[in-house]
Amino acid sequence: MGMDIAWQEWLGLMIRWLHVVAGIAWIGTSFYFIWLDQSLRQRQDLPEKVHGESWSIHGGGFYHAQKYLVAPERMPTELHWFKYEAYFTWISGFALLAVLYYWGAESFLMDPNRAALSPSAAILTSVGFLAGGWIAYDLLCRSVVGRNSGALIVAVFVLVVATGWGLTQVFNDRAAFLHVGAVIGTIMSANVFFVIIPNQKKVVADLQAGRDPETSLGLQASQRSLHNNYLTLPVVLLMVSFHYPVLFGGGAERGWVVIALILLIGGVVRHFFNSQHAGLTGRALLWQWPTAALLSVALIVFLSPARHHEDLAVSDDKALSIIIAHCASCHAAEPTDPAFQSSPAGLRLENLEQLRTHGVRVLAQAVTSQAMPLGNRTGMTAEERAELGSWIQKNR
Ligand code: HEC
């Protein structure tokens, strides 16, 4: 008896599980430490070298944290580091990218209408963006621009938006958005791996040897942490954009504007929380949410196509022949496409009844955006999309 094991599906599922959990742990600790830092309060009789303390209650007990600004007199025997959350998030993320987007490069990564790449050239391009993004970012931070925090943040913003523009010129929309997330994620984990942790190690070594640690080490690490902090919300949205053609479907012309808006919205919301944790009140907290809301409305308007009813007369036979030709090779009880053992997303499009039931989803994926057919492997034309749209509008 032969077994039909859907390896790609199973691997994808297991790695995604790990990736999501590691990411939650990383962002969770990062949010926690930002909050802890801002919640520290000074008191007259704190022990020497203690900069502030914070009390909290959780899970039935009280916690009392004290922060030493540089370091305690003597190194504690047990010191906890926080780094594996970041490393595992990146490793599992890259593995997931490989299983989904490299293994299935032709369907998931490439768009022959944008760049005529072979699958291996497309994979190299992807790796090039990840490595190149980090190198460009790191050079920026170390350049003269890096001496001014504000200017640096603007430069990093421009770099990410430009990366987004580049990616939407070579990959399909969905892969391009996911890659912007992957480039940001790579920058964030590389910050931890190449800068923050090594700097902390040097500080610890200096202290153990009785030397005064260089202040620049701490400054550099906190600059990188600040970037990571402002990038957390955009990176999460870009990762889940995968499911939302309404967001990534702007095409090669509009994609970079969408990415710029996502960075601004996420950054402004993060700024609200940073300001609030820092103890700011009143007017200092009034502008962030309204700004984020306005930008979100702008994003939605920007991405909503002007409604033009292409009112084509499309017979039932014609509609059926379109989905049979372009959808049913994958979306069937028994797909004929060798990449799939069962209907993707549990969606079957083998008859008109099914097309009617799933009309709204089909409109989103194959008419308003061009996310389906996957990788446009079946070569669906603009005219066929309009015809499919007209049939659904009339029959749903
Ligand atoms: C080459 C295989 C393939 C073809 C052909 C294909 N799809 Fe898909 N489709 C997928 C896969 C894989 C998924 C689920 C995972 C994903 O979103 O990438 C999917 C998901 C979907 C979804 C669900 C998305 C959601 O989460 O709601 C819709 C709707 C859809 N396809 C519509 C279509 C339509 C309409 C056609 C034909 C015009 C089509 N697909 C052709 C592979 C295909």
Compute the distance between CA of residue 228 and CA of residue 224 in angstroms, rounded to an integer.
Answer: 6
The Cα 193–Cα 274 span in angstroms is 24
pLDDT at 364: 87
What pLDDT, on a 0 to 100 scale, did the predictor assign at position 308? 62
Distance separating the N- and C-terminal Cα atoms of the chain: 44
Cα of 345 to ligand 1 centre, how many Å? 7
Q: Is-contact 208 77, C-beta < 8 A?
A: no
Whose tokens are 């009140």? That residue is 281
pLDDT on residue 309:
63
329 CA: nearest ligand 1 atom: 5
Q: What pLDDT is stored for residue 1 in this prediction?
A: 59
Question: 309 CB contacts (<8 Å, ≥6 apart)?
Answer: 390, 393
328 C-alpha to ligand 1 centroid (Å): 10
> Residue 391 and residue 356: Cα distance in Å, rounded?
9
Q: Cα angle at 239 between 136 and 229, to 5 degrees?
A: 60
Q: How far away, in angstroms, is 362 Cα from ligand 1 center?
A: 8
Cα–Cα dist 246/1, whole Å: 44
Ligand 1 atom closest to residue 345's alpha carbon, by position in its atom list: 14
Atom of ligand 1 nearest to the CA of 377: 1
Q: Report CA(215)–ligand 1 centroid distance (Å).
A: 54
pLDDT confidence of residue 240: 94
pLDDT of residue 356: 95
Output the CA 344–ligand 1 centroid distance in Å: 6
Chain segment 93-139, per-residue pLDDT in tens: 999 999 999 998 988 899 888 888 999 999 999 999 999 999 999 99
Mark the ranges of the chain whose per-residue pLDDT is less than 70: 1, 306-309
Show the tokens assigned to 392. 């659904």
Residue 373 Cα, ligand 1 centroid: separation in angstroms? 6
Give the atom of ligand 1 at the shortest distance from the alpha carbon of 380.
Answer: 38
Pocket, ligand 1, Cβ cutoff 6 A: 107, 243, 326-327, 329-331, 337, 344-345, 347, 349, 361-362, 365-366, 372-374, 377-378, 380
